[in-house]
Amino acid sequence: MPSSSPTSLAVSDAITHYRQMRELTRDELAYVLEAAGHPLPADAITQMESRELDVTVDDLMALAYVLGTTPTALLTHIPIDMPCAEGPLATALPADVGQDELCAWVEGRTELDHQSRVQWCEDRVSRIRVLSTHHEEQLQGAYAEIRELGELADREADSAPVQALHTRIRDGEYALNQVDLALALAEQQLDDLRENTR
């Protein structure tokens, strides 16, 4: 019986996603697979995409190659119809492993033992803090420019340079809000992981 595990769901959805991105029909994908030395009929591809047939490791490698992607991209894909947002992204992994950490693990850049996970989160928090500082500095620079323009900014509000400055401020505020949200979530995950050591 085919699996409905998170990894199987990810790979099935990824096959459809990358096939459609490459504008290939299932018959065309079957033809390309056969030319690559891994014959797979179109009806088998249909069954894989509809989760009626499990994807073997050989299938995974061949599909990644002919679809112009990587096995990591197929294994770590997040399905558009992920059945449970609270569940793990991959089979048997902790539910709080995010896509970046999952990719790093699949690629061998990190481990998933407790200490490695704490280190991963500490590094992530550190990187996000640097990014937050960068966005804050850029935003403060844009605010300073608008203040320097003073009344001219009001009189020339429709001019391209003033509009561009307002766009920079709006985009900067949005980016800073997003980074600050990511930082709060990363810090919460780090706190949770540290708490679990006690």
The whole-number pLDDT of residue 196 equals 86
The whole-number pLDDT of residue 47 equals 96
The whole-number pLDDT of residue 26 equals 98
Instruction: Tell me the whole-structure pTM to 2 decimals.
Output: 0.77
Residue 110, classed as helix, strand or coil, is coil
44-90 residue pLDDT tens: 999 999 999 999 999 999 999 999 999 999 999 988 766 556 778 89
Mean pLDDT, residues 166-180 taken together: 95
The whole-number pLDDT of residue 48 equals 96
The whole-number pLDDT of residue 84 equals 58
10-52 residue pLDDT tens: 999 999 999 999 999 999 999 999 999 999 999 999 999 999 9
pLDDT bracket for residue 2 (50, 70, 90): low
Q: N- to C-terminal Cα distance for the chain?
A: 41
Residue 72 sits at the vertex; the CA angle it makes with 60 and 109, to the nearest 5 degrees, is 140
CA distance 67 to 127: 32
Cα within 13 Å of Cα(89), Cβ side: 19
The whole-number pLDDT of residue 150 equals 84
102: exposed, middle or buried (C-beta count within 10 Å: 0-12, 13-18, 19+)? buried
Cβ–Cβ under 8 Å, residues 166 and 98 = no
The structural domains of the chain, with segments of one domain joined by +, span: 6-106, 114-195
Mean residue pLDDT of the chain comes to: 92
Whether residue 185 has pLDDT greater than 90: yes
Cβ–Cβ under 8 Å, residues 80 and 13 = yes
Domain over 114-195 is classified CATH 1.10.287:
yes
The whole-number pLDDT of residue 3 equals 56
How many other CB atoms are there within 10 angstroms of residue 26's CB atom? 19
Pick the CATH number of 6-106 from 3.20.20.150, 1.20.140.10, 3.30.750.24, 1.10.260.40: 1.10.260.40
85-130 residue pLDDT tens: 677 889 999 989 999 999 999 999 999 999 999 999 999 999 999 9
Whether residue 162 has pLDDT greater than 90: no
The whole-number pLDDT of residue 81 equals 66
Cβ–Cβ under 8 Å, residues 75 and 11 = yes
